[in-house]
Chains A and B, each alone.
Chain A
Amino acid sequence: MATPDLDQRDLSAAATSNRGDRVFNRVITAAAFIALLVLAGIAIFLGAQAVPVFQKLGWSFLTSTAWDLTTDPPDVGIFGMLYGSILLAVVGLVIAVPASLLLSIFIVFMAPRKLASVLTNAIDLMAAIPSVILGIWGFYLLNPQAEQWQELLNKYLGWIPIFQNESGNFLGTPFIAGFVLAIMVIPITTSVTREVLGRTPPELINAAESLGCSLWTMLRYVALPYGRGGIVGGIMLGLGRALGETIAVFFVLKIIYDVNWYHIIESGGGSVATLIVSRFGEASGPFEVQLLLAAGFFLFLMTLIVNVIANLIVSRTGRMKK
């Protein structure tokens, strides 16, 4: 049964001829722009706090790695934290991306239907675990476990620069924090890649299989190229989440006001989000709160850019499919 194809503009024109509807339309439209208002508000209000910080400290706020308010002018900068955020996110993604891809390939192409739905539900549940709970789990359960793994990594692969550890302290390392981040990123990335791979047209898959393609060949030449945009977008969404995560990282990472360049199994690191939480409780005065708000501004900018790119990629691949 086909419904007549109504021109939507006619409908809304008819709707706005009524005064009640005009009010309704205005209220709804106003509400719809609250999201934009909030985004702009965050940029303006946090940006306004960053201006006096820059006037006082100049570019050293972005290039210094110390956090010392006792000197005059204060030697304060978030470079180590900005770099730390990226390092943690990279460690997290190195674990999460292969895991998510394998999980979604398994769910979409390999697992029996029952197992696939159990696995999907399990991963959704994983996404629902609050980060504070992953933090306490990471602190008490993962930390001692991961300490052993890292000692082994250091013992057998210590000749690789990233597995060096001079202090002998394997607790509170970027590796552990990245591992916890990976657990948060996996559900996000998996749900996007699973959906994208699941939308591969069955006729393409059937054609590949009838040509004698093995599963790998089908993935390599049909499913993965077809879903490439969505997969990249899903990874970017995961990256945005990893950059902004606060509490779980705060629990498991030992925060140092210095740059840990690449020693991922050496104790100590940082991220902008954890800096804010760790300093906020003991902020020495209005200026330090202002510094933290300015740091929040850069965190917001960083995650906003990543998310905008991710959403552009995901929505563009979505359109291509129609």
Chain B
Amino acid sequence: MSADVNTTLFDATRLEELQQQKPYHPWRKRTSRFDVSVAIAVIVPVLIVVALLLLTDLPGALILVAFYLPLQLVAAAGAAIATKGRRGVLDSVIMVLAIGASIFSFVVILSVLFSLVVNGIRALSIPFLTQNSTYISPSTPLEYGGIAHAVLGTVLIVTISALIAVPVGIATAIYVTEVRGRAVPYVRFFVQSMSGVPSVVAGLFILSTLILTGALQTSALAGGLAYAILMLPTVARTAEEVLRLVPEDLRTGALALGSTRARTVFKVVLPAAKTGIITAMILGIARVIGETAPLLIVAGKNDATVVNPVSQPISTLPVTIFENVAQPYPDAVTRAWGAALVLMILVAVLFTAARVLGRNKV
């Protein structure tokens, strides 16, 4: 690697070429020449593109990709040559592309959120949030029926999965950071591999082990177990990161006072990492709350409100969205958007809570 750097910078055959290049003085004050070149590089391509948009009837997307982007790249390269010489060209190209990629991701996020609000807000009403969907078909007008049963179902299933995955996840983290047994690298490796299990496979696993064997029905408990498989790695990895932040002095201090290992963990380490542990739980819930495929397979759907977690199929927000998308009835589609908006609000609340807690962890 270092040899590469040397040959690039001090290649004797290129010496003459390098000497002919304009010297680059980064310490000098920014000149008006710099400002003017940058201004030209920004304004000229935009002007040309606006002119193209107004004068021709080419589609906007084509103009943006086929005219604006190359023009902007050429203009930026030109400005780079004018101010820094040839070696600035690639820098300015990267700059333009990187800004382009950033704008692209902002546009995507804003487009998703904006479409959710615009399309979902029409569905939101008191009955939509408080009623269930019994006697409701896709063609029923929006004034009737709601998604309260689906919200309840999602909450029920997420609660079940958190009750299973959070203790196991924290125990896994404790094994890695506190017990520190011989198998630590393997345990971390299994947890990481588990985080790559596709959600649909988690559903199929519960189907083949518990439902096809007759141990469980299509129900909230089955859904919760499938969710727990997806939630466990997130909780374990986040909890591990937080427990690592607990100062080693606290542990040795507690042990020196004669505390047992178990007491040290429960009375010192876990309380010290309390907010971090809650963050791990929230991130785990946010990870699974929108997963649809496993619930389609093991939790099913139900238009009525279900509170019994083992007796019958149960509807959830993602499955409600799934059922209503692509229906030929506009009201059903609006219901799907409404359910999606409610789901996104739940995710956003969890996301913000994790951020606020994460700011002052340990």
Binding site for B on A (CB under 8 A): 3, 6, 8, 11-12, 14-16, 18, 20-21, 23-25, 27-29, 31-36, 38-39, 41-42, 45-46, 48-49, 98-99, 102-103, 105-106, 110-111, 119, 121-126, 128-137, 139-141, 145, 148-149, 152, 156, 183, 186, 208, 211-217, 219, 221-222, 225, 237, 240-241, 243-247, 251, 273, 276-277, 280-281, 289, 292-293, 296, 299-300, 303-304, 306-308, 310-311, 315
Contacts and interface: CB of A to CB of B under 8 A. Distances in A.
A281 B333 CA distance: 20
B12 interface: no
Interface in B320-358: 321-322, 325-326, 333, 336-337, 340, 343-344, 347-348, 350-351, 355
Nearest to A208: B5
9 contacts: A20-B262, A21-B261, A35-B236, A106-B99, A126-B105, A215-B94, A216-B87, A273-B198, A300-B197
B176 interface: yes
Given A42-B197, A141-B115, A251 B326 contact: yes
B292 A246 contact: yes
A102 B212 CA distance: 47
A12 B88 contact: no
Contacts of B105: 99, 103, 119, 122-123, 126, 186
Contacts of B208: 45-46, 48-49, 293
B98 A105 contact: yes
Given A125-B109, A139-B325, A31 B197 contact: no
A293 B202 CA distance: 11
A152 B209 contact: no
A305 to B, nearest CB: 10
Interface stretch (B38-46, B67-75, B185-193, B305-313): B185-193
Which residue, of B4, B105, B260, has the highest number of chain A Cβ atoms within 10 A? Answer: B105
A24 B266 CA distance: 11
B232 A32 contact: no
A284 to B, nearest CB: 16
A140 to B, nearest CB: 7
B318 A132 contact: yes
B290 A130 contact: yes
Contacts of B286: 128
B196 A306 contact: yes
Contacts of B178: 28
Given A130-B347, A289-B212, A136 B232 contact: no
Contacts of A135: 325
B98 A132 contact: no
B252 A3 contact: yes
Interface stretch (B124-132, B141-149, B167-175): B167-175
Chain A: interface secondary structure? helix
Given A214-B88, A300-B197, A35 B98 contact: no
Chain B: interface secondary structure? helix
Interface residues of B, number: 104
A131 B325 CA distance: 14
Contacts of A152: 59, 61-62
B304 to A, nearest CB: 20
Contacts of A186: 105
Interface of B: 1, 4-5, 8-9, 24, 59, 61-62, 66, 84, 87-88, 90-91, 94-95, 97-102, 104-106, 108-109, 111-112, 115-116, 119, 167-168, 171-172, 174-176, 178-181, 183, 186-202, 204-205, 207-209, 212, 229, 232-233, 236, 248-249, 252, 255, 260-262, 265, 286, 289-293, 296-297, 318, 321-322, 325-326, 333, 336-337, 340, 343-344, 347-348, 350-351, 355
Contacts of B197: 38-39, 42, 244, 300, 303-304
Contact of B94 (A132, A216, A315): A216
B142 to A, nearest CB: 17
Contact of A24 (B191, B204, B261): B261
| Cβ-closest 10 pairs across A and B | A130-B290, A244-B198, A307-B196, A31-B171, A15-B261, A32-B175, A106-B98, A216-B90, A24-B262, A296-B204
A219 B87 CA distance: 13
A130 B318 contact: yes
